[in-house]
Amino acid sequence: MRYINSAIFIIAVLVFSNLALFAQETEAKVVDEVVAQVNESVITLSQIKREMNETIDSLVKEGKKSPEEAKTQVESKQGELIAQIINEELLLQKGKEMGVESDVEAQINGRFLDIMKQQNIKTLDALYKAMGDTGVDPQNIREMWRKQITRDMVLQREVDAKLYNGYAPKEVRAYYEANKAKFTKPETIGISEIFLSFAGRNEPEVREKAKQLVMQARGGADFGKLAAENSDRPDVKQTKGKVGSLNVSDLDKTFAESLKSVKVGGISEPIELPEGIEILRVDERGNASSESFFDEKKVREILTYEKLPEERKKYMSTLRGDAYIKISENYRPIVSPVLFADERKAEVKKSEK
């Protein structure tokens, strides 16, 4: 239920392309300057302005702020934005040093393939043409994803995986014994789905089709067959709509509310999302239990989750300490206190001992 769906993708790329055009027009009126140097790379004022404009536009489109309110808010956090871009640049440089490029490209290509399957587009060239016809530059999307995936991959390999695998078996067992209440059997639910995408379709017609499918499923039609013939998931021919067993506590609130009174074998009402409509069948339910059980993988996951924020901060602090970072005097007063906040806290703690 967490697939990259075409509707979200189309919305994202349209917003992204419009922002890029707006940013380019704005940058033409700004005299560029170097805001910061990060090792051999530089961060420029035009880059900062582009990021600020994208954030302003996003806040406005989401309906959270008026243009004036969004502009005021973003400009007040300029120092935080520059610090964030410096940290991002450090992660991108680390990714290059680690040689993750081929793995990153594989993930990017996988995302494009998912979109092609959902849109029934046969070739990458045809997808690029379709994107170009809507004013979207696929290379801009590639670059946006490249940065995101590289950042995530570096942190997962350098921090998350090392933390997860670093606990000794005795430490894992000791944590379980001291926190048994965290490892009781949760309530579970097994579900199947039919997903109807809004992308490129008349939404009222999609809603009507969803109602008809619910009536057919409740009338005794084979849900797996209905899914295979109607669902827009790319792998539905193989899965027949089966999602599998999930912890009820992990369900999105929208799905949890829709399913709470549906019995095993029952069909939910159509669940409307921004990208389309879900129809869910409850295949099974598992009751929660107060009896604790030892699952080494689960214990390691919780241990990692608890320590991850602090460990990631330490890692970024190390990256900054090993790097050459020079911030322009015009921006140093608003950037340095944010960028080096963790280092300053560490120094205070050290001096207090």
Where residue 194 sits, what CATH number does that domain have?
3.10.50.40
How many domains does the chain contain in total? Answer: 2
What is the CATH classification number for the domain harbouring 103? Answer: 1.10.4030.10
Q: Give the closest residue to 273 by CA, choosing from 339, 206, 341, 346.
A: 206
Q: What is the pLDDT of residues 103-128, one digit of tens each?
A: 999 999 998 888 887 777 889 999 89
Same domain, 151 and 213: no
In a domain, 144, yes or no: yes
Q: Is pLDDT above 70 for 28?
A: no
Domain presence at residue 139: yes
* Whether 247 and 157 share a structural domain: no
Residues 236 and 94 in one domain: no
| Residue after which a domain boundary falls, among 286, 303, 320 | 286
Beta pairing partners, 193:
280
176 found inside a domain: no
Question: Can you give the length of the chain in residues?
Answer: 353
In a domain, 273, yes or no: yes
| Domain housing 28 | 6-162
Do 128 and 43 lie in a common domain?
yes
Looking at the fold, whether 243 and 124 belong to one and the same domain comes out as: no
Q: Which of 242, 270, 286 is the last residue of a domain?
A: 286
pLDDT tier, 12 (very low <50, low <70, confident <90, very high otherwise): very low
Q: How far apart are alpha carbons 353 and 341 in whole angstroms?
A: 19
**Whether the predicted pLDDT of 312 surpasses 80:** yes
305: nearest Cα among 187, 175, 184, 185: 175
Sign of the CA dihedral 241, 246, 248, 251?
Answer: negative
Residue 263 lies inside a defined structural domain of this protein: yes
Domain boundary among 256, 286, 316: 286
- Locate 286 and state its tokens: 């598992």
**Alpha carbons 284 and 262: distance in angstroms, whole number:** 11
* CA neighbours closer than 13 Å in the CB half-sphere of residue 150: 23
CB-based contact 175:299 (threshold 8 Å): yes
155 and 10, same structural domain? yes
User: Which stretch of DSSP H or E encloses residue 88?
Assistant: helix 78-98
Same domain, 101 and 229: no
Confidence of residue 19 (pLDDT cuts 50, 70, 90): very low
Judge whether 124 lies within some domain.
yes
* Residue 58 sits in the same domain as residue 202: no
Give CA angle at 87 (84, 90), nearest 5°: 150
250 by Cβ neighbours in 10 Å (0-12 / 13-18 / 19+) ranks as exposed
**Same domain, yes or no: 214 and 263:** yes
Structure confidence at residue 35 as a pLDDT band (50, 70, 90)? very high
Query: DSSP 3-state assignment of 295?
Result: coil
Q: State whether 279 and 201 are in the same domain.
A: yes
Query: Considering the entire predicted model, what is its pTM?
Result: 0.70
| Other beta carbons less than 10 A from residue 121's beta carbon | 19
Nearest-5° angle of CA 55, CA 57, CA 63? 105
